[in-house]
Amino acid sequence: MAAQRGDENAFAALVERHWPQMVGLARSMVGDAEAEDAAQEGFVTAWRKLRDLRDPDAFRAWISRAIVRSCWRRSRRRPTSVPLELVAELENPGAGEAGAMLDVERLLRMLAPRQRAVMHLTVVAGMSDREIGEVLEIDAASVRAHRRRARDRLRSVLGADGR
């Protein structure tokens, strides 16, 4: 791959091609406000490590991993706890915007970072458990476990919301 030989234009073309999907992934991970910064940071880190990519055909999974890591770094820098008023709002229909329309960003913040990634890669990217496992460097069984826990969490919050 030309980008691996240091061709910046080739890498710019890759950024252009994957930018919308990677911003989408970052949005699911860190929210809309920080998504583009996180995605850019992920691409810059990826450029530095591009020589580590063995199979150029696996670029999509590889760049997804770089973006996920960049989002994790950002999540670690910020407090990850969910504010109590947010939980109360989600569990109390009509108290906030969550009553009428799903505030998906807020719901995502109630999930662990890895669960958010699994949910995005399953629901939005349509990846198989094996592919998700490759992105997150875990096995397929762990992917299923993360998804199950995420669904349980959402079910409990949305169940309370819908009551």
Strands in the chain per DSSP E: none
Fill in the per-residue mask, 90 to 109: x = in contact with another protein (CB under 8 A), - = not in contact.
-----------xx-xx-xx-
In 3D space, the residue among 98, 90, 94, 38 whose CA is nearest the CA of residue 68 turns out to be: 38
Quote the least distance from Cβ 40 to another protein, whole Å.
6
Which of 13, 32, 28, 105 lies closest to 64 in space, CA to CA?
A: 28
For the chain, the maximum distance between any two Cα atoms, rounded to a whole number of angstroms, is: 58
Please tell me whether residue 136 binds another protein under the rule CB under 8 A. no
Handedness of CA 134, 136, 137, 143 (dihedral sign): negative
The single residue among 2, 88, 95, 124 that binds another protein, judged by CB under 8 A, is: 124
| Segment interacting with another protein, rule: CB under 8 A, options 59-67, 76-84, 88-96, 151-159 | 151-159
Alpha-carbon distance of 122 to 118, in angstroms, equals 6
| Residues contributing to the site for another protein (CB under 8 A) | 8, 11-13, 15-17, 19-20, 23-25, 27-28, 32, 35-36, 39-40, 43-44, 47-48, 101-102, 104-105, 107-108, 119-120, 123-124, 151, 154-155, 158-159, 161-162
